[in-house]
Chains A and B, each alone.
Chain A
Amino acid sequence: MPLLEIRNLHVCVEGREILHGLDLTVNAGKVHAIMGPNGSGKSTLSHVITGKPGYQITAGRILFKGEDLLAMGPDQRAAKGLFLAFQYPVEIPGVTTMNFLRTALNAQRKARGQSGYSTPHFLKKARTVAKQLNIPQSMLKRGVNVGFSGGEKKRNEILQMALFEPDLCILDEIDSGLDIDALRIVADGINAMRSPDRSIIMITHYQRLLNYVVPDVVHVMSRGRVVKSGDKQLALELEASGYAQFEDAA
């Protein structure tokens, strides 16, 4: 059974169709890259999988671990092991990152019928992961993403991913706004998460990230559909020739 299976997905926003019958299958342990020009529907796809309000699903289905994802609320999906690293992580003034992480983690554990982490256990875990990602302790005491640089925000997303240990990670343009050093740290963080039970979907414009996190499968999205799939060679082809060749295919 694939970890994620999307069949004939049609999605509208305010009456306008954005996804026109999208198909995608992701097996456990695989890293997929979804590439495509602006406006091809990549971010919409990540939002629909995670259940962001404001999208109407007019046809199709999404199965996650064989269960109907569309019947679940966003928090239930998270508890089931679905994680989205946001393209634009929000700022939450007054709520420290530490408090946020613990509240979220314990909410997920509770939903899964697990007991909450004790404070010392949690702190230890969070500190260890933060250290690996080169995130200073002081950042954990500041408001979530408040005053963080672009790179810090992205590292904070990876920190959450590492702590929550999800089964499917969707990384929406995790590489945007990162300089080469920050990209390396983020990529190391992602690679450390690779395991036979976990799948990763990376949404990106550029081939650059894929040099650091080598995908098993590459998809090209255009005008609301997956128009071509292949191995990592496909990304190199795209880098050389651009997206224009796929505009017509869609």
Chain B
Amino acid sequence: MVAARETVECVARTGVDQYRYGFETLIESDKAPKGLSEDTVRFISAKKSEPGWMLEWRLQAYRCWLTMTEPTWARVHYPNIDYQDIYYYAAPKPKKPLSSIDEIDPEILKTYEKLGIPLREVAILEGVEPAPGGEPSANRKIAIDAVFDSVSVATTFKAELKKAGVIFMPISEAIREYPDLVQKYLGTVVPISDNFFARLNSAVFSDGSFVYVPPGVRCPMELSTYFRINERNTGQFERTLIIADKGSHVSYLEGCTAPQRDENQLHAAVVELVALDDAEIKYSTVQNWYPGNSEGKGGIYNFVTKRGDCRGKHSKISWTQVETGSAITWKYPSCILRGDNSRGEFYSIAISNGFQQVDSGTKMFHLGKNTSSRVISKGIAAGKSRNTYRGLVSANRNAAGARNHTICDSLLIGDKCGAHTVPYVEAKNSSATFEHEATTSKISEDVLFYCIQRGMSQEEAVSLVVNGFIKEVLQKLPMEFAVEAQKLISISLEGSAG
């Protein structure tokens, strides 16, 4: 592997205060008036030509939201958010109605090109080298849904997916085209009465991806959504709903970037996954929202609710995440292990540098019999950042034979950062077996000297050891993302060695 060398070169190329994805695209956009009210909700619903039931659902969520205050238990600090000072809807102004990718505003296409996201049905992600012995990535197809500010701008490989019976489209279209499916599942995992940010999302979400995989179908390609916040003072509230029907299988990737700005921007997404009997969903995220500058100014507030429901017997949901971006991250991708013998997995790498604050982890709710879950979390704190793992594992009275194994390791680089571990282990069943282990340490001086004696620089040595530390999780990512993720990690740790 050339990872370490590449890492170092990447660091050398990138200046200290440089966020690779921090450019802005100048295009005209269509915005809702600033602020949040029932009118805003109606405006969004009307823009999307939604049916009446959808508007009602949103309004109900909005009213729920009004009754609640922001949660304060997370180990993150930020000034009060003025919810009336945010645009809740911004869409690139289309020159005319779109019928093919060629009609997308070339400025947007250029943006995605800069981001390395191929919208032209070419599935080579930027900079991807095939791993030794691995399948060359050019031969692998990835269907992509690109969300620009609030709307989905392009979905690729639609036709090929349709042949397999897989529905993959912007959720705004799904609400119009498959209202029964959407109505049956939307809000059944994250209800409108859920947490503060989820309620907000339910009221104002503007787009996102919808996936339905019919019974027995193995989705023929990786599905992917790339999220991009471009507009100023805009919140992004996307909603993703993935349903894997009985015996089906789908792997879904999500990537995120935003321009570099002085102000903080709010991102409050909701992701709902439903796995029926024997179905499997693998959900991977590489999150690289703008983290703010070296003084802690600007950056995205990433307040996200992600939850998977293993509704059917023998179903499986697996979350893999690489978190390097955002000024503040507040998210706990969770699994409700309802079906007997269902399985939940959470594999996470969370890296914080500068003034970033991360409070992230998972929740595994064991409800059914013989359910199992596995958690591997690798946290790396550098600079003046705060990195907290917060995780819950619980076994209900009826969860006979539940099993969990959690490993949670933190690495500190430098003496101005903090790494915290807050697990909650709640067992209400004598046949449930839970094991949790956590460690916090720094890179050992002896290991560093060993590497340096072999000729590596300090930075190369740190990078090598860090890559080893996170490898177990990195291996869980689809290959293309793993390479991308590795680069991101090296960039986000730049300047922290020594």
Contacts and interface: CB of A to CB of B under 8 A. Distances in A.
Q: Say if A and B assemble together.
A: yes
Instruction: Give me the 5 closest cross-chain CB pairs, A-B, nearest first.
Output: A94-B468, A95-B468, A108-B455, A94-B471, A104-B454
Contact of B132 (A50, A86, A119, A143): A119
Interface residues of B, number: 28
A29 interface: no
A75 B456 contact: yes
Given A95-B465, A95-B467, A111-B455, A74 B449 contact: yes
A104 B5 CA distance: 10
B161 to A, nearest CB: 36
Interface residues of A, number: 37
A90 to B, nearest CB: 5
A94 B467 contact: yes
Nearest to A85: B453
A185 to B, nearest CB: 21
Contact of B468 (A50, A78, A92, A108): A92
B450 interface: yes
Nearest to A73: B452
Contacts of A94: 467-472
B445 interface: yes
Interface of B: 1, 3-5, 132, 444-447, 449-458, 460, 464-465, 467-472
Given A95-B468, A99-B3, A90 B447 contact: yes
Given A95-B468, A103-B4, A78 B454 contact: yes
B460 to A, nearest CB: 6
Given A92-B468, A94-B472, A99-B3, A75 B457 contact: yes
B119 to A, nearest CB: 32
B453 A84 contact: yes
6 contacts: A86-B450, A86-B453, A92-B450, A95-B471, A104-B451, A116-B5
Contact of A89 (B4, B444, B450, B452): B450
B449 A52 contact: yes
A116 B1 CA distance: 13
Nearest to A116: B5
Nearest to B470: A94
A50 B165 CA distance: 64
A147 interface: no
Contacts of A105: 455
Q: Among B3, B446, B472, which residue has the most Cβ atoms of chain A within 10 A?
A: B446
Contacts of B5: 103, 106-107, 116
Given A90-B444, A94-B469, A95-B464, A74 B452 contact: yes
A73 B449 CA distance: 11
Contact of B454 (A54, A73, A119, A164): A164
B468 A103 contact: no
Given A95-B467, A107-B454, 20 more contacts: A52-B453, A53-B449, A75-B458, A78-B452, A90-B444, A90-B446, A91-B447, A92-B450, A92-B464, A92-B468, A94-B468, A94-B471, A94-B472, A100-B464, A103-B464, A104-B451, A104-B454, A104-B455, A107-B5, A108-B454
Contact of B453 (A74, A95, A99, A143): A74
